[in-house]
Amino acid sequence: MQKGNQLTRKIIGRFLRAISVAFWVMVLSFVMIRVAPGDPASARLGPGAEKAAIEVLRKQLHLGGNPITQFFSYVNELIHGNLGVSLQDGVKVVDIINRTLPITIYLILLSTLCALIVSIPIGTYIGWSGKGSLVYGFRGLTAIFLATPNFFIAMVGILFFSVRHNWAPVFGYDNSFPQNLHYLWLPVAVNTIILSSVISRVLFSSVSETKDEEFVETGIIRGVGRRRFFWFYILKPSLAPTVVLLSYMMGTMLGATVILETVFSLPGIGRELVGAVLTSDYPVVQGILLYFGVITVLLSFIGDLIAYLLDRRVKI
Amino acid sequence: MKLKSMSQRIRAWIARPGGVGIVSGIFMMLTLMILGLLVPLFGNRDDAFVGKPFAPPSFQYPFGLDQLGRDVFSRVFNAVGVDLGVAFLGVTIPLAIGTIVGIFLGLNRNKYFLSVIGSIIDGINAFPLLIIAIAALTYLGPGLKSVVIILSLTNWARYARISRTKAVVVTQQNYIEAAKTLGYPKWRIVLKHIAPNVSSETIAYALSDFILVITVVAGLSFLGLAARPPAAEWGSMIADGRNFIGNAWWIVIFPGIALCWAAVSLSFIVEGLSRRDRGV
């Protein structure tokens, strides 16, 4: 009873921390437009803009009045699910995000799945065998993949698979299920290469640490079955750092997909963000930033939680 | 005699864990930097039109010519200064700010103040670096100067977190207690005892952060948000050559290799240092 109580308290504490971080994310996305040097409204309309037009835009961006009331009206709008409208074409920001976010999430989840399938066997095998030459090669190769920017890997991929062989389209997208894989497989492959380098490295080092634990020796002496041994004695105690890393990496991948979507012209949220930045479409940037921040905060909360459930030695 | 013992000492140093990585990393970095220094001095100007557009790599132009007939070789090495310079500023300024803020927080005892600043730091860190940089560029306007400003404004939070954790640990050490007992003034304890111990940790992180920042700067330029054409910068050169990749692969591949070269050499150094630190 006592133990269960402690667990809930820990989880609630961690959740409250996630909420407070989410709050600051919101404040940050609110503040950014207001602390920018110069007036955003006149910056967007250009030097020759009429005063009246600037006033209208300032009103549209809710830039009038004192900061405190501005903030409360911003929060109020947020609670009602209103993120404003795009300055470019008047479409609701929420609608833009609802249209583009699923593609990005689909891309990220697919890459994560592929990366797990690739990296768990590799990381476990190399960590378990610990053979010198193998470890050396593995470290060198993953170091190169990790240091290479994803857009360059993508360009090399395009050069080989699109230009030379015409196996992957360079742009375009189809929303229906089996067809979209045709457009997505190369971006997913690029993401998978980078992600599985990170994951397998972390898994490798935690497996080689776990290997030296006493309970592993006990398992060998007790003659535990092979499959049970690898899952309960090796993999499960080693997975916690990987899960924490994975939740962090999924946040980072939001950034990485911004570039990948631009390279492959995929209509995801990342390309929408870049487009909005280039046209100074403040409400869209603000909305997407808020979504990204909340998503990463949630992911890190979930990651910490799963890591704790897998291995109670982890601090949350 | 003395020379021999010197070379023996160097060999022994390399033989220790991580030595090969550190030495090859430094060697790769130096090559790049020396070429980055010499090519702008003696090679073609990066914006000069020297020949027929899309000329493939040849003896005269080892990396070929781009879509405007500019020498890719000299452009790639002219960009060394820009890319490494911007990344250097984008690492050292946050390093300094973050370390100082972290030490200050580590010494501070006000619970409410700490929790507010702590969650601001967590809030900034919640965003991936690339995302927050892209978003902030909306308001500052594209350009390399804005990139440096943004990195200074946001990246310090990561250093502050590391520095604060370490500062809390250091202040509990016995030698701080000893220094206090000896009656040293507070500024001396902070400057001579706490700061060096904390900064060793943040500088170690800065090295690996350098890799990230190089790719972020190049990535932003690739998106057209940092360096803009016709500036010689790896990311924008890759973006430039993107449309011609079908018939002129060299415009894209060589800047990309230079970018990888810089990042890989740093990652070899980081890897080597961390292996040396752990002694494996």
Interchain CB contact of A287 with B (< 8 Å): no
Measure CB to CB from residue B271 to each of A139, A152, A274 and give the nearest one. A139
Cβ-proximal residues to A41 (8 Å cutoff; 6+ apart), any chain: A54, A57, A58, A61, A63
CA of B126, closest CA in chain A: separation in Å? 6
Cβ-proximal residues to A206 (8 Å cutoff; 6+ apart), any chain: A127, A238, A239, A240, A241, A242
pLDDT at B110 over 70: yes
Cβ–Cβ gap B225/A144 under 8 Å: no
Give mean pLDDT, residues B107-130: 82
Interchain CB contact of A285 with B (< 8 Å): yes
Cβ–Cβ gap A296/B127 under 8 Å: yes
Helix or strand holding residue B190 (H, E)? none
Would you state the pLDDT for residue A1?
A: 47
Interchain CB contact of A76 with B (< 8 Å): no
Would you state the pLDDT for residue A304?
A: 82
Identify from B22, B24, B127, B138 which residue to disrupt to test chain A contact, counting A C-beta atoms within 10 A and taking the largest count: B138
Distance (Å, rounded) from C-alpha B216 to C-alpha B205?
A: 16
Q: How confident is the model at residue A315 (pLDDT cuts 50, 70, 90)?
A: low
Over residues A278-300, the pLDDT tens digits come to 888 888 888 888 888 888 888 88
Distance (Å, rounded) from C-alpha B21 to C-alpha A80?
A: 55
Cβ–Cβ gap A258/B223 under 8 Å: yes
Which residues in chain B have Cβ-Cβ distances shorter than 8 Å to A152? Answer: 238, 256, 259-260
pLDDT at A54 over 80: no
Cβ–Cβ gap A259/B211 under 8 Å: no
pLDDT at A39 over 70: no
Cβ–Cβ gap A156/B253 under 8 Å: yes
Would you state the pLDDT for residue B227?
A: 84
Would you state the pLDDT for residue B214?
A: 92
| Phi, psi torsion values for B235, nearest 5 degrees | -60, -45
pLDDT at B15 over 70: yes
| pTM for the structure as a whole | 0.85
Higher pLDDT, A42 or A155: A155
Average pLDDT for chain B: 87
Which residues in chain A have Cβ-Cβ distances shorter than 8 Å to B219? Answer: 149, 151, 259
Give mean pLDDT, residues A71-79: 82
Cβ–Cβ gap B259/A292 under 8 Å: no
The two three-digit tokens of residue A132, written as one number: 């010198």
Cβ-proximal residues to A242 (8 Å cutoff; 6+ apart), any chain: A123, A199, A202, A203, A206
Rg of chain B taking only CA atoms, in angstroms:
23
pLDDT at A171 over 60: yes
Identify from A155, A170, A249 which residue to disrupt to test chain B contact, counting B C-beta atoms within 10 A and taking the largest count: A155
Q: Kindly state the percentage of chain A with pLDDT values over 70.
A: 92
Give mean pLDDT, residues A4-20: 80
Whether the complex's predicted ipTM is more than 0.90 is answered with no
CA distances from B168 to B108, B160, B165, B198, B204 (A): 10, 12, 5, 10, 18
Give mean pLDDT, residues B149-176: 89
Average pLDDT for chain A: 82
Would you state the pLDDT for residue B148?
A: 93
Over residues A202-231, the pLDDT tens digits come to 889 888 888 888 888 888 888 887 788 888
Q: DSSP 3-state helix, strand, coil percentages of chain B (rounded to 5)?
A: 75, 0, 20
Q: How confident is the model at residue A4 (pLDDT cuts 50, 70, 90)?
A: low
Question: Chain B residue with minimal CA distance to A292?
Answer: B127
The two three-digit tokens of residue B111, written as one number: 């619970």
Higher pLDDT, A76 or B233: B233
Would you state the pLDDT for residue B94?
A: 95
Residue B66, classed as helix, strand or coil, is: coil
Distance (Å, rounded) from C-alpha A288 to C-alpha A187?
A: 21
Within the 35-74 window of chain A, which residues sit less than 8 Å (CB to CB) from chain B?
A: 35-37, 40, 43
pLDDT at B2 over 60: no
How distant is the alpha carbon of residue B111 from its chain centre?
34
Question: Chain B residue with minimal CA distance to A285?
Answer: B135
Listed residue (A239, A277, A252, A278) closest to A191, CA to CA = A252
Residue B71, classed as helix, strand or coil, is: strand
CA distances from A228 to A109, A211, A236, A238, B240 (A): 28, 15, 10, 14, 54
Distance (Å, rounded) from C-alpha B178 to C-alpha B196?
A: 17
Helix or strand holding residue A1 (H, E)? none
Please count the residue pairs, one from chain A and one from chain B, whose beta carbons lie less than 8 angstroms apart: 147
Question: Chain B residue with minimal CA distance to A293?
Answer: B127
pLDDT at B234 over 90: yes
Question: Chain A residue with minimal CA distance to B142?
Answer: A278
Contact A54, A294 (CB under 8 A): no
Which residues in chain A have Cβ-Cβ distances shorter than 8 Å to B87? Answer: none
Distance (Å, rounded) from C-alpha A39 to C-alpha B17?
A: 55
| Phi, psi torsion values for A86, nearest 5 degrees | -65, 140
Over residues B79-94, the pLDDT tens digits come to 999 999 999 999 999 9
Residue A191, classed as helix, strand or coil, is: helix
How distant is the alpha carbon of residue B205 from its chain centre?
10
Would you state the pLDDT for residue A115?
A: 93
| Phi, psi torsion values for B42, nearest 5 degrees | -110, -20
Which residues in chain B have Cβ-Cβ distances shorter than 8 Å to A139? Answer: 271
Cβ–Cβ gap B223/A33 under 8 Å: no
Contact A311, A238 (CB under 8 A): no
Listed residue (A250, A249, A240) closest to A316, CA to CA = A240
Would you state the pLDDT for residue A70?
A: 78
Would you state the pLDDT for residue A229?
A: 82
Distance (Å, rounded) from C-alpha A298 to C-alpha A315?
A: 17
Question: Chain B residue with minimal CA distance to A258?
Answer: B131
Alpha-helical runs (H) found in chain A? 2-35, 40-45, 51-60, 67-79, 93-129, 132-147, 150-157, 177-210, 214-222, 226-228, 236-264, 269-278, 282-310
Would you state the pLDDT for residue A119?
A: 92
Would you state the pLDDT for residue B224?
A: 87
Would you state the pLDDT for residue B96?
A: 94
Listed residue (A273, A274, A153, A248) closest to B257, CA to CA = A153
| Phi, psi torsion values for A10, nearest 5 degrees | -60, -45
Interchain CB contact of A212 with B (< 8 Å): no
Measure CB to CB from residue A277 to each of B129, B138, B256 and give the nearest one. B138
Question: Residue A153, exposed/middle/buried by CB under 10 A (0-12, 13-18, 19+)?
Answer: buried
Measure CB to CB from residue B223 to each of A17, A40, A259 and give the nearest one. A259
pLDDT at B36 over 80: yes
Its sign, for the CA torsion A271, A173, A190, A149, is negative
Would you state the pLDDT for residue A43?
A: 67
DSSP secondary structure string for all residues of A10-33 = HHHHHHHHHHHHHHHHHHHHHHHH
pLDDT at A140 over 70: yes
